[in-house]
Every structure is written in C-alpha cells, then in structure tokens.
Amino acid sequence: MDNLYRDFILEHYRNPHNKGLLEPHDLHFADSNPTCGDELSMTFVLDSAGEHIADVAFDGRGCAISQASASILTDELRGMSLDEAREMDPKDLLEGLGVPIGPARLKCALLSYKVLQGAVRGGETAWPEEADVV
C-alpha cells in the first residue's frame, strides 16, 4: 500500500504541476475514465513553427494516481516535438510513476497519456492494451 501511495505520488497529488487551463491555446483535448467518470483535459501552446510543445497544462479532478500521472507526464512534455509525443511509449509513463500499477488502476494511470494522444493525434485514441504495458 505504502508502495503505491509513496510520498512522491502524494506530493504530485497535493501540489500538481502544470494544473490549469492555457488561454489562448493551440490544442485542447478532454477524455474520461469510464470506470469512475473522472475527466481530464489538456491545453497546449505550440512554438511558432507549430511543431514543438511550448507550454502545457492539465485540468480536471481525479484520484491520486491519475492526478500524479498527469502532473508527471506534463512535466516531460515541454520542448517535445509533436512527433515525439505521438510516439511516446505508455510504459515509460508507468515507469516514471515509480510505483506498481495493478490492472484495476491502469486506466487511472494512463488517462493523461490517452488525453495527450487525443490532442496530438487530433481525435480520441484507444486505451493501451493491458498486455502491452504491464
């Protein structure tokens, strides 16, 4: 238990990085976790060439895992090209969380990844298959 809710996760949950809404923004996407109905949105500002992420913010409410995951993921995104963001491996995000994520909480941990993919791919994407990420 203390394994899952390590200080690192709880710190991101209490004081999330990049929380809010960027106005104006270039990209916006929102999605929800079907098991609990939690919604998460992301807004992006791109560089002048429209190829790199200049700034990003996420908004929405959710559990410690989904909020920490969004906080940690958005930290990684500044300066990243849209191509790099599209090619991101969800396993890297799960590793970045640094705690064991069981199947019951996988969608909580990957909601931010799914919102990111929806934004950079221009539409809703499928949830990563459990077998591919665990």
Contacts with other proteins by CB under 8 A lie at 1-2, 4-5, 7, 10, 35-39, 61-65, 104-105, 108
Using the Cα atoms of residue 30, residue 115, residue 12 and residue 83 in order, give the sign of their dihedral: negative
Identity of the residue, 8 or 79, whose beta carbon is nearer to other proteins in the bound complex: 8
CB of 126 to other proteins, least distance (A): 21
Identity of the residue, 27 or 97, whose beta carbon is nearer to other proteins in the bound complex: 97
Identity of the residue, 4 or 46, whose beta carbon is nearer to other proteins in the bound complex: 4
**Which helix (H) or strand (E) is 45 found in, with range?**
strand 39-46
CB of 5 to other proteins, least distance (A): 6
Output b/e per residue, 7-29; b: 16+ Cβ within 10 A.
Answer: eebeebbeebebeeebeebebbb
Identity of the residue, 2 or 23, whose beta carbon is nearer to other proteins in the bound complex: 2
CB of 94 to other proteins, least distance (A): 16
Check residue 100 and report its DSSP letter. -
Distance of alpha carbon 27 from alpha carbon 58, whole angstroms: 12
